[in-house]
Amino acid sequence: MNAITREDETQILDSIQRWLDKDVKPHVLRLEHADEYPHEMVAQMKEFGLFGATIPPEYGGLGLPASTYAKIVTMISSVWMSLTGIFNSHLIMATAVQRYGTEAQKRHFLPRFAAGEIRGGLALTEPDCGTDLQAIRTRAVRDGDDYVINGTKTWISNGIEGSCFALLVKTDMDVQPRHRGMTMFLAEKRDGFSVSRKLEKLGYKGLDSAELIFQDYRVPADCLIGGEEGRGFHHAVGGLELGRINVAARGVGIANAALRDSVAYAQVRKTMGKPICEHQAIQLKLGDMATRCEAARLLVESAAGAYDRGERCDMEAGMAKLFASEAAVENSLEAMRIHGGYGYSKEFDIERYYRDAPLMCIGEGTNEIQRIIIAKQLVARNPA
């Protein structure tokens, strides 16, 4: 990953903050409650180069390190978390090509991904398969220079608005261990690839989540990532480190927003003749909320630093994702309690934080799985 100066990073973050203040904050409530896709904001994100944030400059991207990328995600999530999902899933797809694709695949796809000309994401989850990726049933069968794919994917981010997906399939249904029969393709929308329905969600509005159907869908063999069957599970898991850092950064953003709004409200809301920030009950909440924010931020910083150094960081990313997502949930609930009835009102942002936060505990591997990953790595790194 290319280095970036502190001055360059500051300039990027300042530009994004100005955009958030001017073009995002005034429209979030309307778009959120209408569950409307933010086409204009997506066009602006293309101009910023966010769809190529982590793609190397030689392929038209910004080549940002994960540490800077995480700060961008945190900043945007503190205003409207849904926007980060639009480019995060896309960038995990790009990471799969960047890390494992053939040079021809990199030359063909990465510049188009970076420009936002082709946008998409990951197509892993199926109706009967989430965390246990090896249980997928979508199948690809070789037919001459193509593969023919049949199956269903669900809860796919960017499923409606996106046009290309890193699609995980089975090319061998019988091999053991099961992961050796898994392969990943770059699947662009055309005949045989359809969207069956948009999935309604508690939160994470604005981002389209959909069910995808593949019925005798033909994909050229040269769209098999890396050109070799049986590597799909490795490709999928390899992109989840960056994905988990992203989810952790989102958690920090939501936790920060809940704290920010609570500190402001506690100074203007009065009870018993004084601002509620002077009541010890509120002070205890604010103190815990602030501590969670800082601890979560440092864990994300640590994980992103390890990723940038090229180190294995599934434990660090898992720790950051686990703690930051739980911090977001706890801070959103405490913010609602501090705001009282206003926190429950759709006229304020607090109820949105409360609806968005639980997704972070589920997405990119549940927090239960994160605990297991952390424990296994802890033992492996510290043999008796």
Catalytic sites, residue numbers: 364
Helix segments in 215-231, DSSP class H? none
Non-local CB neighbours of 216 within 8 Å, separated by 6+ positions: 148, 149, 150, 192
Helix (H, G, I), strand (E, B) or coil at 74: helix
Distance in Å from the first CA to the final CA of the chain: 35
**6-115 and 120-231 in the same fold:** no
Residue 1 above 70 pLDDT? no
Q: What is the pLDDT of residue 132?
A: 81
CATH architecture of 234-379: Up-down Bundle (1.20)
Contact present, 181 and 174 (Cβ < 8 Å): yes
- pLDDT band at 2, cuts 50/70/90? low
The pLDDT tens digits of the residues spanning 271-322 come to 999 999 999 999 999 999 999 999 999 999 999 999 999 999 999 999 999 9
Q: Tell me: the pLDDT tens digits for 106-139?
A: 999 999 999 999 999 999 999 988 778 888 999 9
Burial category of 5 from C-beta neighbours within 10 Å (exposed 0-12, middle 13-18, buried 19 and up): exposed
User: What is the architecture, at CATH level 2, of domain 120-231?
Assistant: Beta Barrel (2.40)
β-strands 120-123, 139-143 pairing: unpaired
Is the model's pTM score more than 0.85? yes
Q: Is the pLDDT of residue 154 over 60?
A: yes
Q: Any idea which fold 6-115 has?
A: Butyryl-Coa Dehydrogenase, subunit A; domain 1 (1.10.540)
* Helical spans, DSSP H, in the chain: 6-19, 28-34, 39-48, 66-80, 82-100, 103-115, 232-268, 280-308, 314-339, 350-360, 367-381
Mean pLDDT, rounded, for 51-67: 97
- Count other C-beta atoms under 10 Å from residue 291's C-beta: 12
Indicate whether 178 pLDDT > 90: no
- Each domain of the chain, given as residue ranges in start order, spans 6-115, 120-231, 234-379
Where does the pLDDT of residue 237 fall: very low under 50, low under 70, confident under 90, or very high at 90 and above? Answer: confident
